[in-house]
Chains A and B, each alone.
Chain A
Amino acid sequence: MAVIETYGISKIYNPGKVPVPALNGVNLTIEKGEFTAIVGPSGSGKTTLLNIIGGLDKPTGGKAVIQGTELGGLSDRELVDFRLHHIGFVFQSYNLIPVLTAIENVSFVMQMQGRPAKEYHQKSMALLKEVGLEDKIHKRPSELSGGQQQRVAVARALASKPDFVLADEPTANLDSVSTADLLDMMLELNKIEDMTFVFSTHDQRVIERARRVVTLVDGKIDKDEIRAA
């Protein structure tokens, strides 16, 4: 079952002035449960593709369909709501809310979804346990290491019960041990919960462990490699 489908996606920045093409007719289908790395040199369009799939940016041409919903047909308000309920985000710089504790950061998304307090509290506890931070739930981001913060970010991304998690360079700021731990954890979640992960990366350690590697060059898919589990 396809979670993400893109049809001839193209994106040109500054179309009226000095046009900068970022994507050029990208057709991509990602099935549920895939663990996909989008790779390519700088400027190849990885982040742009992730932004379009994540409903953060609109393509100049083509369309992106998530779980059967065409994002181009949604208003800005509907897109925000769609992101809240269908997409989990993990950012390179963790981007947790610094004034909230780990458990509050994870709960925050569920609070925005309007879930009952008891439910979001239990779910947050469970998620933080799942990412191995059950003893850090009341720590603020400044009291956690980079790896731990990224784990909280993954827990937050999963908290909304998304259709998939988009991670833009999730290991770029992590050391080798933290990178390995994070990948182990994401693969575990992928395996146990059948969670779909799509991430852009330069990191060879991440690429090596991805089940599918889509290589972008100059805004086009140059290679799409599916590896055996």
Chain B
Amino acid sequence: MIANIIKLGWKNIWRNTTRSAVVITAVLLGTWAGVFLSAFFTGMVQSYLDNQFKLTVPHIELTHPQFKDLYRPEYSIPGADTIISDLRQRSFVEKVSAQSLASGLAQSARNSYGVTIHGILPGRTHGVNTYLKEGTMPGNDQQNPVLVGSKLAERLGLEPDSRVVLNFQDAAGNITGGAFRVVGIFDSFSSVFDETNVFVTQSDLNQLMEVGDQVHRLSLTITDFSRANSYAQQLRTEFPNLRVTTWGEAAPELQYSFQMTDLMMYIVMVIIIIALVFSIINTMLMAVLERTRELGMLRAIGMNKTRVFAMVVWETVFLTMVGTPVGLFLSWLTISYFGHAGIDLGAFSEGLNAYGLGAVVYPGLPPGYYFNITLLIACAALLSALYPAWKTLQLNPVEAIRKIN
């Protein structure tokens, strides 16, 4: 009998084709809009996180346990080469880069400012490459080259070929420094970063700090940054003499943004679903109330309450679930297309850059999201069904028969 109830429920939704088509279209568009909007938000947050990972915070970093507290040159990573080789063997590690770091003062003829000095290996790709505004990256063929941020350049009155003196501590604790020539200026999304970071070659920095070929930080790019905590835990066990810091620990605001993405996706969808639920309840109530006589007749001829209830539930589920797969499919198509082509928000790039966002957003969703949304909508359909179905249970067949005659 259940098959017949389902069949009847299906036929019932087509009694009023226009009304059902309107609801189905609303569900379809609601699903599409909700899922696409979620994908857009995810793309924006992903773009934000990618930018941050590229420039400011690695997925996981390994340092000497005390380095981050004092930034002293002697707190380097012992046996860094062996550790790097070891890390590169791991399946979850995509890229390992080593940097020397120093905290110091940048001085020009006009002004001075506190900066973090990054010693990088020339020729390797660094996140900052992308933001090169003018000039070149520091190379071994240049004499004490330095790359400065646009904000710092502005503050110190620097331009390509200008001289800047960098002062910092050496391994013995003495103040040391050197005159560097500006070879390039970068302009990233973060003016704070641009103002407080400079890049020199690792050999120049290490020589001045007298630390040989030591490095202070190993930055790991991993295959799935959301699993940074578990990988970090593993690394902590294996490298007990190093401090292992995840991106979430180094930049809690990023972790918050990441967690908010998930929440935002579902908030958007839940708001849309709530609106749909009321629309469906309204439609189903109309459908049920205008069939009072017929439902009464069904009860009179021997259809029990459970079956009448089930019939109305099935009608509601059909009404909701017909539009959902089409909406999901359309979302998938749109997201797949824009996920590759991107949505160009160039007109707002300045504003977006200020927030660490790229001008092109690539919408994307985790695959599980589609399944979760289907479940969410199915639950909403059942929820929408309850009130109209309950109304049918209140029906007295005698009163229905009175209405008949």
Query: Looking at the complex, which one of A47, A108, A113, A156 makes contact with B402 (CB distance below 8 Å)?
Result: A47
Task: Verify B398–A77 contact, CB threshold 8 A.
Answer: no
CB distance from A161 to the nearest CB of B (A): 12
Q: Are B302 and A85 in contact (CB under 8 A)?
A: yes
Query: Contact partner of B301 among A51, A83, A114, CB < 8 A?
Result: A83
- The answer to whether A95 touches B302 (Cβ under 8 A) is no
Choice from A92, A112, A169, A172 contacting B307 with Cβ under 8 Å:
A112
Is B301 a contact of A168 with CB atoms below 8 Å?
no
* A114 and B8 form a contact (CB under 8 A): no
Measured in the bound complex, the distance between the Cα atoms of B1 and A215 in whole Å is 41
Which residues of the partner chain B approach A56 to less than 8 Å between Cβ atoms?
300, 397-398, 401
Nearest chain B CB to A122 CB, angstrom units:
17
Question: Which of A31-39, A97-105, A186-194 makes up part of the contact surface?
Answer: A97-105
Taking CB atoms, residues of chain B closer than 8 Å to A24 are none
| Nearest Cβ on chain B to A77's Cβ, whole angstroms | 6
- A80-102 CB contact bits vs B (8 Å, 1 = yes)? 11011100010111010111100
Instruction: Count B-side interface residues using an 8 Å CB cutoff.
Output: 25
Known: A95-B294, A112-B1, A112-B307. A84 touches B301 (CB 8 A): yes
The answer to whether A111 has its CB under 8 Å from any CB of chain B is yes
Binds A, one of B9-17, B162-170, B345-353: B9-17
B373 → chain A closest CB, angstroms: 31
Q: What CA separation (Å) do A49 and B4 show in the bound complex?
A: 33
Given the known inter-chain contacts A97-B294, A111-B4, please indicate yes or no for A91 contacting B405, CB distance below 8 A. yes
- Is the beta-carbon distance between B12 and A112 smaller than 8 angstroms? no
* Shortest CB distance B216–A (Å): 76
Scoring A residues 105 to 143 as 1 if CB is less than 8 Å from chain B, else 0, what string do you get?
A: 000110111100000000000000000000000000000
Q: Once the chains bind, are A156 and B301 in contact (CB under 8 Å)? A: yes
B59 interface residue (CB < 8 Å to A): no
Residues in A36-93 with C-beta less than 8 Å from chain B: 47, 51, 54, 56-57, 77, 80-81, 83-85, 89, 91-93
Interface residue SS majority, chain B: helix
How many A residues touch B, CB cutoff 8 Å? Answer: 31
Contact with A along B363-405 (1 / 0, CB 8 A): 0000000000000000000000000000000000110011011
Shortest distance between the CB of B394 and any CB in chain A (Å): 13
Once the chains are docked, how many angstroms separate the CA of A140 from the CA of B314?
Answer: 22
Q: Is A149 an interface residue (CB 8 A)?
A: no
Cβ of B303 < 8 Å from any Cβ of A? yes
A80: B residues at CB distance < 8 A: 299, 302-305
Partner among A47, A57, A84, A97 whose Cβ is within 8 Å of the Cβ of B302: A84
A196, CB-defined interface residue at 8 Å: no
A108 to B305, CA, bound (A): 16
When chains A and B are docked, how far (Å) is the Cα of A194 from the Cα of B397? 28
The contact string, 1 if C-beta is below 8 Å from chain A, for chain B 281-305, is 0000000000001100111111111
Docked CA distance A93–B402 (Å): 11
Give me 16 other A-B pairs in contact (C-beta within 8 A), A80-B302, A99-B8, A113-B302 excluded: A56-B300, A56-B401, A77-B305, A80-B299, A80-B303, A81-B302, A83-B301, A91-B405, A93-B293, A93-B404, A93-B405, A95-B404, A97-B298, A98-B294, A160-B301, A160-B302
A-B contact pairs, 20 of them (CB 8 A): A47-B402, A51-B401, A56-B300, A56-B398, A80-B303, A83-B300, A83-B301, A85-B302, A97-B8, A99-B11, A99-B12, A99-B14, A109-B301, A111-B1, A112-B302, A112-B307, A156-B301, A160-B302, A168-B404, A169-B405
